[in-house]
Amino acid sequence: MNRLRSADWYVGADRNAYIHRAWMRRGLPEDAVDGAKPQIAIANTASDLTPCNMHLNEVAESVKQGVWAAGGVPYNLPVVSLGETQVRPTAMLWRNMAAMAMEEMFRANPIDGLVLLGGCDKTIPALLMAAASVDIPAVVVPGGPMMTGHFRGQALGCGTDVWRLSEEARAGTITGAQFLESEQSMIRGRGHCNTMGTASTMAVAAEALGMTIPGFAGTPAADARLLSLSHETGRLIVEMVAADRKPSDIMTKDAFLNAIVAVAAVGGSTNSVVHLLAIAGRLGLGLTLDDFDAAGAGVPVMANLQPSGLYLMDDLYRAGGALALLSQVKDLLHPDPITVTGAPLVDYLVDRPVYDQTVIFPRETPLMADAGIAVLRGNLAPGGAIIKPAAATPALLQHVGTAVVFDSVEDMRARIDDPDLEVTADSVLVLRGCGPKGYPGMPEVGNMPLPRKLLEQGVRDMVRISDARMSGTAYGTVILHVAPEAAAGGPLGLVRTGDVITVDVENRRLSVALTDDELRARRPDAATEAAYAAPVRGWTKLYVDHVMQADTGADLDFLVGSSGDAVTRESH
């Protein structure tokens, strides 16, 4: 084994080494901090205010036992945790802050390897961004989806059925009391959303990137095998330190292309785009929106999972799991990228039978052909916009309609149910002021509720366009991440109600019927400009001043790239 990084803290007879060792003993074996045993930090996003990650303290204990068994020394390292359903105004505002704080703590402490415990949407991306920037051996433990809850005999998809039942209540097809009654059945127990939302998508993406023990992604949080795999991960990280197997060795450009294929094949969340771009940016890999279209657009969706299909994550697990599904598109994957074990991902895609073809469709007869995330461009989105065709109404993927424009979330909520709102089923709902700078933080409001009067007429989908994001559990013909956003001077800020918008997903076009001269002559309305209140202090000001656009991952400009693990100064 090469000299351990932690030896720079613990080896020596001087005062500094004395201080580092003495303060860490506290009941540890005498040789725990002698510079010879790998020091392993368990970066733990457990929090009682992050409901999806509440069980990760138990998971951390299993990891610890595995680390001890392999000859390492484990430490619980609580890091910033973001509860998608709890924090206001949006968890995305703090993804970069969490990643920055994690990175600094990973670098500052005497650790040789990292076990990254995440689950809820932003936690795995933030952990991977941080680990990529420091680039010491690291492995992900995904916290796992919850088991399926039921209401009146029907399985409930966490998130997806919130949106569905909410719209049905607004339409009057179920009562408000029935809607609220379902709340008690929505969350059955520990774990994150049981749909193929962002949390499940990022677990699959982490596995496809090679950053988990193969076969880990999608293991239900309540399943005893999650703890067994966590124990095995603790053993593995000690071996990774000995081999000096780092994130940059694993997460290559080809590994990201494999992750894009995996996300497409499972019908994954559009949020994966901004997260994968940001992680790749930390590694300096030059991943672009065009890579998503080139690598993923022609991939068939084979996972019959909500929100695109019928089933839920525990169904995927019993049907063979993510590896069984990926084995069917093995020919689309780059063969060279390795996993945390040191072996290529494709080596784990042999003899992976599918046990239920109603959950994992055959490659020849997929749930949906050519339905990966599509990138649209045009005079309305010169920097690009994205859509998830698998979650859309096929008839709306080619559409021309007049815009109904909302300048902010508040404006939309105030007017969407106004009976006098001039809107039809063919209208295009446009929401702006919800990008990284404009909100700030890029909230999940792109899947706007439909006008009540249209819901009452039986309308259940419309074309919606915004510079916002959409929950991975949501569905509909929703165009997202329009770049540049309105608050950054993008043309979305110049659209007016009544303008004609054309959506052509097949040809990857998104345009407004205005000439370049007409667009240049326009200025944002006063109401549009008034919606962007510049923050004056704290993290929000730092974020707005430095956040980049969605087409590059919405990271902070000064965090792109990495700084490595070196710390050359000592204060003691």
DSSP 481-509: EEES-GGGT-GGGG--TT-EEEEETTTTE
Q: Could you tell me the pTM of the whole model?
A: 0.95
Q: What is the pLDDT of residue 568?
A: 87
Q: What is the pLDDT of residue 392?
A: 92
Strand partners, 385: 376
Q: What is the pLDDT of residue 500?
A: 98
CB-based contacts of 375, cutoff 8 Å, min separation 6: 289, 290, 292, 293, 297, 384, 385, 386, 508
Rounded average pLDDT over 383-389: 95
Between CA 447 and CA 480 the distance in angstroms is: 9
| pLDDT digits 0-9 by tens, 287-337 | 999 999 999 988 999 999 998 899 999 999 999 999 999 999 999 999 999
> For the chain, which domains are there?
38-148+188-348 (3.40.50.2300), 149-186 (no CATH), 376-533 (3.50.30.80)
User: ω into residue 440 within 30 of 0, thus cis?
Assistant: yes
Q: And the tokens for 270?
A: 């559009």
Rounded average pLDDT over 421-427: 97
Percent of the chain with pLDDT over 70: 99
Q: State the pLDDT confidence band at 58, using cuts at 50, 70 and 90.
A: very high
CA atoms within 13 A of residue 443's CA, in its CB half-sphere: 19
Rounded average pLDDT over 178-206: 92
Between CA 233 and CA 464 the distance in angstroms is: 42
Give a three-class secondary structure readout of 326-378. HHCCHHHCCCCCECCCCCEHHHHCCCCCCCCCCCECCCCCCCECCCCCEEEEE
- The amino acid occupying position 108 is A
What Rg do the C-alpha atoms of the chain give, in angstroms? 24
Rounded average pLDDT over 86-106: 97
Q: What is the pLDDT of residue 171?
A: 86
| pLDDT digits 0-9 by tens, 554-565 | 999 999 998 999
Q: What is the pLDDT of residue 164?
A: 85
Closest CA to 121 of 223, 292, 315, 271: 271
Q: What is the pLDDT of residue 1?
A: 62
Task: Quote the crossing angle between the two packed helices 253-265 and 198-209, to the nearest 10°.
Answer: 140
| pLDDT digits 0-9 by tens, 434-443 | 999 999 999 9
Q: What is the pLDDT of residue 508?
A: 96
DSSP 219-285: --TTSHHHHHHHHHHHHHHHHHHHHT--HHHHS-HHHHHHHHHHHHHTT--THHHHHHHHHHHHHT-
Give a three-class secondary structure readout of 398-453. EEEEEEEEECCHHHHHHHCCCCCCCCCCCCEEEECCCCCCCCCCCCECCCCCCCHH
CB-based contact 146:55 (threshold 8 Å): no
Rounded average pLDDT over 355-377: 93
Least confident of 67-71, 100-104, 154-158, 292-296: 154-158
Q: Is the pLDDT reported for residue 526 higher than 80?
A: no
Q: Is the pLDDT reported for residue 513 higher than 80?
A: yes
Strand partners, 399: 503
Q: Is the pLDDT reported for residue 371 higher than 90?
A: no
CB-based contacts of 236, cutoff 8 Å, min separation 6: 66, 70, 139, 213, 340, 341
Rounded average pLDDT over 103-117: 98
Q: Is the pLDDT reported for residue 119 higher than 90?
A: yes
Q: What is the pLDDT of residue 251?
A: 98
Between CA 138 and CA 382 the distance in angstroms is: 37
| pLDDT digits 0-9 by tens, 199-256 | 999 999 999 999 999 999 999 999 999 999 999 999 999 999 999 999 999 999 999 9
Closest CA to 119 of 41, 50, 67, 21: 50
Rounded average pLDDT over 64-89: 96
Least confident of 20-29, 226-235, 327-336, 418-427: 20-29
CB-based contact 481:457 (threshold 8 Å): no
Strand partners, 246: none
Average pLDDT, the chain: 95
CB-based contacts of 331, cutoff 8 Å, min separation 6: none
Between CA 386 and CA 390 the distance in angstroms is: 12
Q: State the pLDDT confidence band at 173, using cuts at 50, 70 and 90.
A: confident
